[in-house]
Structure 1
């Protein structure tokens, strides 16, 4: 049985949180009661795709933040993140492609918008990460972040799909998008995701300064 996790006290906010108007976003209702949320983020200056790949592979590592030791995940969004666990390691070990992540968070620190879910990492490379949840082998949730290098930094796009394309899954989709993850929660996630992605522009260089051995292996440009 998965143990419930209380919302912890907020950690200090050391880095500016971007506003939603810094990104282009949309919440769309699709056929068979599906929802798609897209966010095209402002570029991340000083962050490369290889740095983002490293981050997701080491998201549970302990770091120094605000004078304390904590997981990188808790520092990533110091208000909304509750916990991250490696539910199942990747075939190659650790938090790589093929692993399953348990993610616990409350958007806007609002318990109505709490997520406690285990998703499989079906893709993780220098172009992005894809997290998927399936029911009876059918994909009902997908969150994909894609990254590409640009002149102003890394271009980062997030796309969340809730529900299955199959007509027979319409009742499941309706439950997902009205009870489990309604549109108000999707809007709250937009704000949360804009904030956490923007924090990476500041947090990730700070973390890598604590890990010069790793930083030396990462590329500085495209």
Structure 2
């Protein structure tokens, strides 16, 4: 799937120094990337829950109709698909998302992966990928109310805790998702989370109204 033309960037993208981030090497060649974002003014936890349930819906952006996912990061996002609906239907908890993106529009940092939504509620979302029942990838975004807006934290865990999985973990964190890619993801995630500060209030004024 080719990288699509970039959509217009309607708002300045946040820079990495707006957040606190760490990339840590853990036992058995695992990696953990943590990002504590600057608060999202004008965004509430119920709005974020609505967003992830409707991420594939079309919205108005830059004078066009497009999926919310494409508008969310107008440079890096390629496509989002509902690989499997939730038991209750749609993109809710229990669904599987297919996510295709290229961090920094760099083909070296392209991701095309399917993850299961193991949690989705007003406190956050957790995406997990397992092989033979063993968790090898987890991305959890948590959010909470704060005096300056919603507090948003992203934590990505790569690799299994099992000692026997160390060779697989080494391949995952050195070849599939090496440190340079982790750094590119930090920048990407800081940018896309910052976009929500502008996108969600705009969406709330359209025909698709998230709760406030």
Alignment TM-score, normalising by the size of structure 2: 0.99
Mapped to 1, the partners of 2:200 and 2:179 lie a distance apart of 31
**Secondary structure of 2:145 counterpart:** strand
In structure 2, which of residues 112, 115, 131 is the aligned counterpart of residue 116 of structure 1? 112
Displacement of 1:139 = 0.2
Mapped to 2, the partners of 1:170 and 1:177 lie a distance apart of 10
Instruction: Verify: 1:66 aligned to 2:58, yes or no.
Output: no
Instruction: Verify: 1:50 aligned to 2:52, yes or no.
Output: no
Q: How many residues align?
A: 212
Deviations 1:165-202 (A, max 9, x none): 00000011011101110010000000000000000000
The equivalent of 1:20 in structure 2 is 16
Mapped to 2, the partners of 1:175 and 1:143 lie a distance apart of 19
In structure 2, which of residues 28, 33, 45 is the aligned counterpart of residue 32 of structure 1? 28
Structure 1: segments with no counterpart, 5+ residues: none
Instruction: Verify: 1:170 aligned to 2:172, yes or no.
Output: no
**Secondary structure of 1:18 counterpart:** coil
Displacement of 1:15 = 1.4
What are the within-5 Å matches in structure 2 for residues 1-222 of structure 1?
A: 5-211=1-207, 214-215=209-210, 218-219=211-212
Mapped to 2, the partners of 1:28 and 1:211 lie a distance apart of 43
Q: Is the 8 A contact 1:15 1:203 kept in 2?
A: no
The CA RMSD measured in Å over matched residues stands at: 0.7
Mapped to 1, the partners of 2:167 and 2:110 lie a distance apart of 22
Q: Is the 8 A contact 1:43 1:153 kept in 2?
A: yes
Mapped to 2, the partners of 1:208 and 1:140 lie a distance apart of 36
Mapped to 2, the partners of 1:64 and 1:125 lie a distance apart of 25
Deviations 1:48-102 (A, max 9, x none): 0000000000000001111111100000000000000000000000000000000
Q: Which of structure 1's runs of 4+ aligned residues deviate more than 3 A?
A: none
